[in-house]
Structure 1
Amino acid sequence: MEAELLCLLFLRLCLGYENEEKNDKLPRPFLSAWPSSVVRPKSNVTLQCWTHFQNVTVMLGKVHDSEYQQEQSSVGREAEFPLTDLQPEDAGGYFCAYKTAASLEWSRRSQNLQLVVTGSLQEPSLSVKSTSTMTPGHRTLHCLIPSNGSECFMIALLKTGIPEPLQTKKERNNQTDFMLWNVTSKDSGNYSCIHYQCNWPHLGSSPSHSLQIWVTDEPSVSGTPSLKTDRVGGDEGNPPEPADTGRIFLATFSCLCISLLFISIFLIYRCTQRGSSHEESPKR
């Protein structure tokens, strides 16, 4: 009897080991949002799940909502889940998993993707923090949220044209700092910050007013790249790109000088033609 129990126990351990090996053969997928994971109310977004195998069954789930589940077959190694007319209750963490025709269980879940629907909370403010000990080439962006500091918020730094937040911090304070290290011309752009609740229902704020930052390749007095900032009036949309006002002025001045030069040559030519015609008439 004891021998039979030991055989059954050994067989169960072997089967469990085989299932673990079979599940380990399915790498974790990757979930992304297009055009962005931070969206306005009533807008549309597509969640894209990328797998390591073709023609698999993909499942989209939602954190803290076990009843939410969508399934569809992938096209190649990608499956798309469109979410339309988004409302504040659609915010939260999403994940995806997949299974092949040979596997019986779902793969490991992807990383959680936080979908933020803006507009439910008051917008924060973003500014450049200046201190006497500021390290050359680095900048600190200061985000201040309208909160008493008792509730848990996730504070995210956004950049126009980047679909995912650049940095995210979990805070119970009403302010936080984001560091930009070794800034170069690639860091030029329009920045803003938002905050949303750590827990359900994950209500999110409107983005702060955009802070325009541009970095020139010409070094400053300290030898580091020259960095300038300016506040953009609009908080959303496509703010104007950074521009070098000195170069614009030089180009405009050059065009005016060239135009005046051509006008002067034309006037001299006309006067010369008239003078020659007056000299020929008495001779005739």
Structure 2
Amino acid sequence: MAPMALALILGWCLVAASRTQHLPQPSLSLHPSQGVSLGDNVTLRCHVPLPAARVRLYKDGCLSSEKNVDKVQDTAEFFLVDIKQEDAVKYWCQYQILEPLWTSNMSDPVELRVTDHSYPPPDISLSPDECVKVGMNVTIQCQNQKYEGIVFLHKDGHSAPVQHQEPDGGGTATFTLFAVTPADSGTYRCSYRVGGCWFLFSPLGNNVTLEVTMTHAPPGTPKHPDLTGDTRGPHWNPVTAVAGGCAAAIVFILLLVVSFLLFARRQQIQRDESPGASPRSPNAVQFQVPPGDCEGLTYAELRPVTPGTCNPGPSAVPEPPIIYAEVGTGRPC
């Protein structure tokens, strides 16, 4: 009998778990979501994606309140009046439908952060406090006096703290901003958490203002660069630079081509002038002048022949060549 009861219970749990997976998850929001102090009123709104019969609000994991809603409502509101320290915890919501009887999963938690003005605000300091340039490291120290809760660093314009840290034994937290940029400029404040398990915070302390300036330009750099933001020269133009680079590359390639052609021509001439080279034309005739004294002269007259399309007839009589004899004067060289 006991095994059968155990099987029924397990089966019911599995069915319930499978049903919850089929229902969309609700969402919970706080109004107002920040700047809440002790004694204020807060509204928690649970948004249900399906028509629900009942919506439940859980506080710090325990059922706090539930509300029946009709089928035309998609939001259930829960009111917290005169906020107290114990209200500064996490909240969830959940909804249930009747046909069939299914229950959704829990929503994502929301944290109700409450400021307790009975605690003194922390002190804050900035180092260096002036002439901060791009790339420098900046240190912000927050002192929460005798309270040892977590210290939070806030920046104006951000809804959530930008950093948090456990203080040292003296109650001081040191935040370092590495290699700052103009985006780090702004107003900073600190707060600390005073509750052990509550989201209870001290008031924001005094502020410090960080101004990050650009580094000075090196000597010779114009003070007013052009609209492109380049500081390499007063008239530097990227289009001109690219065109100049292309022109230089083309000239370099042309020089390489000319050098290669000259080298090939020289190699061809050397092959033609080598002893074993064959004559350029089968009809070429070589003439050698016999050696003589320094004033001996030998002349040979070669009559130019104009090439034609017709061969000379048989009646053509070749003219004898004219030979110039060597004449010696008898004088020694």
- State yes or no: 1:220 paired with 2:223: no
- State yes or no: 1:111 paired with 2:109: yes
Aligned mates of 1:135, 1:171 — CA distance in 2? 28
**Aligned 8 A contact 1:90 1:117 in 2:** no
Aligned mates of 1:47, 1:162 — CA distance in 2? 22
Aligned mates of 1:184, 1:70 — CA distance in 2? 50
Per the alignment, residue 261 of structure 1 pairs with none
What SS does the aligned partner of 1:100 have? strand
What SS does the aligned partner of 2:89 have? strand
Higher relative contact order structure (alpha carbons within 8 Å, sequence separation ≥ 6): 1
Match of 1:127 among 107, 125, 128: 125
Q: 2:173 is aligned with what amino acid? A: T
Q: Aligned in 2, Cα 1:201/1:80: closer, same or farther, shift over 3 Å?
A: same
**Aligned 8 A contact 1:120 1:203 in 2:** no
Aligned mates of 1:39, 1:137 — CA distance in 2? 36
- State yes or no: 1:209 paired with 2:167: no
Q: Aligned in 2, Cα 1:210/1:30: closer, same or farther, shift over 3 Å?
A: farther
Aligned mates of 2:163, 2:23 — CA distance in 1? 30
Q: 2:118 is aligned with what amino acid? A: S
Per the alignment, residue 196 of structure 2 pairs with 199
- State yes or no: 1:62 paired with 2:62: no
Per the alignment, residue 135 of structure 2 pairs with 136
Q: Aligned in 2, Cα 1:144/1:155: closer, same or farther, shift over 3 Å?
A: same
**Aligned 8 A contact 2:44 2:79 in 1:** yes
- Alpha-carbon distance, 1:202 to partner: 5.7
**Aligned 8 A contact 1:34 1:163 in 2:** no
**Aligned 8 A contact 2:124 2:208 in 1:** yes
- Flag the structure with higher helix content: 1
**Aligned 8 A contact 1:156 1:194 in 2:** yes
Q: Aligned in 2, Cα 1:37/1:148: closer, same or farther, shift over 3 Å?
A: closer
TM-score when normalising by structure 2 = 0.48
Q: Aligned in 2, Cα 1:184/1:203: closer, same or farther, shift over 3 Å?
A: same
CA shift digits 1:228-260 (9 cap, x unpaired): xxxxxxxxxxxxxxxxxxxxxxxxxxxxxxxxx
- State yes or no: 1:94 paired with 2:90: yes
Per the alignment, residue 177 of structure 1 pairs with 174
- Alpha-carbon distance, 1:209 to partner: 0.9
Q: Aligned in 2, Cα 1:91/1:148: closer, same or farther, shift over 3 Å?
A: same
- State yes or no: 1:155 paired with 2:151: yes
Q: Which runs of 5+ in 2 are unaligned?
A: 219-333
Structural mapping, 1:43-54, within 5 Å: 43-50=40-47, 53-54=49-50
Q: Which runs of 5+ in 1 are unaligned?
A: 224-284
- Alpha-carbon distance, 1:198 to partner: 3.4
CA shift digits 1:99-155 (9 cap, x unpaired): 13155445225324142223021110223355xxx9936644322101164xxx232
**Aligned 8 A contact 2:134 2:181 in 1:** no
Aligned mates of 1:214, 1:72 — CA distance in 2? 54
CA shift digits 1:148-185 (9 cap, x unpaired): 64xxx232233334433334445574122345567555
Q: Aligned in 2, Cα 1:177/1:110: closer, same or farther, shift over 3 Å?
A: farther
